[in-house]
Amino acid sequence: MKMKKNVALISGGEGFEREISKLSAANLFSLIDKSLYDVYNVHIDKDGCWFICPAPAEIYEENHDSEHIFTKTFPAFIDGVSGFLYEGGVIPIDCAIPCLHGDFGEDGCIQGTLTAAHIRYIGQDVYSSAITSDKIYTKLAAEHLGIPIAKWIFTDGTAPLSNALKDAETKIGYPMFIKPARLGSSYGAHPVRNKNEFKSAYEDAVSYEKRLIIEELIEFDYELECAFIDVGKQFIIPGGRIRSNGAFYDFNAKYSKNSSAKTEAKTSGFSETENKITEYTRLLASLIGIRQLSRFDFFVTKSGEIFFNEINSFPGMTETSLFPRLSGCVGEKKGDFINLLIDGICSNDRRI
C-alpha cells in the first residue's frame, strides 16, 4: 500500500489579509485528496506565533488556552528531517502550502523561512515572491516588456502631502488612484477625483505603508483575472471576468457573498483580447520566474484597450474566488489542480 505524503497547510499570518487566508485555507483543505495526503493545519496568529491545529475549523477560534487544540510549532531541519516541531520531535513534511496573502505571506518572508528549513512548498521562491508582492517592481517589469499599463508615479511617503499632490496633478491628473505598493485586497486603496479626496486617500494609504503608487484611474469595462497554473503542463486561463458596475472593487465586493459585482469564469473559447492577455501573462511569468500558480490581473476598456494591473503570487482560494473556478480545466474534477501541484512538489527531488 502506498504511504500517504504529509502536507502542511499554512494559514493566518501577521498581515492585513490574514482573515482571507483562513477562508482560502479552509476551502483548499476541502479540495485536498485525503486518501493521498495527511494534512497538518499550521496556523500563524496575528502575533507571529506558529501552531499546529487538529482541524481547519479550529483555526479560526485562536483560543490559545486550550492546549489540546493548539500546539506551538515552527519550521525546522533537524538530523536530516525537514518539517515542523511537534512534542519534542519533528513531523516530516513532504510539501507545504503557504496559503498566505499579502504582507508576511506573499512577500518572501515565509518562503525564506521554509527554504531555510529545507521544506519544499507550493508557490514562488523568495526572489519571485519579493518582486510580485511589490507593485512598483511589477510595473517596471511590464514596462520593460512593452505591456501597456496606466500612467503612474510612486512616492516613498516622506515628502509633504502638498508635494505629492502637486506631483500627482502634474504627471497624472484627475481621476487617479492611490494604493500602497505592497498590499492587496484593496487595503488602503482609493479612487481620487479631486484635491479633497486626494488628502483623505493619501493619509489613509500611507497609514498602511509609506511607499505608495499613484496612477491614472482607468475607466474600464471589466477586470480580467488570468490564472497561471503549471503542473508539468502549463495552463494560462484568461477567463476570470469581473464587472463591478462602475463601483470600486473593494474588499467587500471581492469577498462578500452578497457582492453586487458580477463574475464569470470560463475555461475555453477565448477572444482575441483574452489571447493577448495570455501572451502578456506568459511574458511576465517568464521574466519574473513564476512557478506553479499565480494570478495576473488586467483592465479592459470598452474600446478593447488592455492595461496590466498586478500579480498575486498566491491568489485567493475562497469559495467566492475566481482562481479555483478557473482551475476547473486542470485535471478531471474540481480541486484536481491543488492535488496535482502537491504531487509535483512531492515528486521533485530538489530542495525547493
Cβ(313)–Cβ(128) below 8 Å: yes
Residue 244 counted as domain residue? yes
The neighbouring-strand residues paired with 10 are 42, 98
Say what the pTM is.
0.91
Count up the domains in the chain and report the number: 3
Residues 62 and 176 placed together within one structural domain of the fold: no
Q: Show the 3-state SS of the chain.
A: CCCCEEEEEEEECCCCCHHHHHHHHHHHHHHCCCCCEEEEEEEECCCCCEEEECCHHHHHCCCCCCCCCCEECCEEEECCEEEEEECCEEEECCEEEECCCCCCCCCCHHHHHHHHCCCCECCCCHHHHHHHCCHHHHHHHHHHHCCCCCCEEEECCCCCHHHHHHHHHHHCCCCEEEEECCCCCCCCCEEECCHHHHHHHHHHHHHHCCCEEEEECCCCCEEEEEEEEECCCEEEEEEEEEECCCCCCCHHHHHCCCCCCEEEECCCCCCHHHHHHHHHHHHHHHHHCCCCEEEEEEEECCCCCEEEEEEECCCCCCCCCHHHHHHHHCCCCCCHHHHHHHHHHHCCCCCC
Q: What CATH number is given to the structural domain containing 36? A: 3.40.50.20
Per-residue DSSP letter, 10: E
> Within a domain: residue 335?
no
Determine the pLDDT at residue 53.
Answer: 84
Asked whether 1 and 7 are in contact (CB, 8 A), the reply is: no
10-residue mean pLDDT profile of the chain (352 residues): values are: 88 88 92 96 92 66 54 95 94 97 90 97 96 96 98 90 95 96 85 96 93 95 96 94 70 59 87 97 98 97 96 93 92 89 85 52
The answer to whether residue 349 sits within a structural domain is no
Q: 284 with 141, same domain?
A: yes
Q: What are residue 211's phi and psi, to 5 degrees?
A: -85, 120
Range of the domain at 31: 5-123
Closest CA to 135 of 330, 312, 334, 331: 312
Residues 245 and 142 in one domain: yes
Residue 162 domain flag: yes
What amino acid occupies position 143?
A: E
Helix axis angle, 161-171 relative to 195-208, nearest 10°? 120
- 142 within 8 A of 311, measured Cβ to Cβ: no
Residue 334 falls within a domain, yes or no? no
Domain of residue 199, CATH code: 3.30.1490.20
Same domain, 112 and 178: no
**Pair 212, 93 in one domain:** no
Q: What is the model's pLDDT at position 251?
A: 54
Q: Verify that 246 and 163 share a domain, yes or no.
A: no
Q: Are residues 165 and 139 in the same domain?
A: no
CATH at 224:
3.30.470.20
Domain assignment of residue 336, yes or no = no
Task: Report if residue 84 sits inside a domain.
Answer: yes
CA 86, 57, 257 angle in degrees (round to 5)?
140
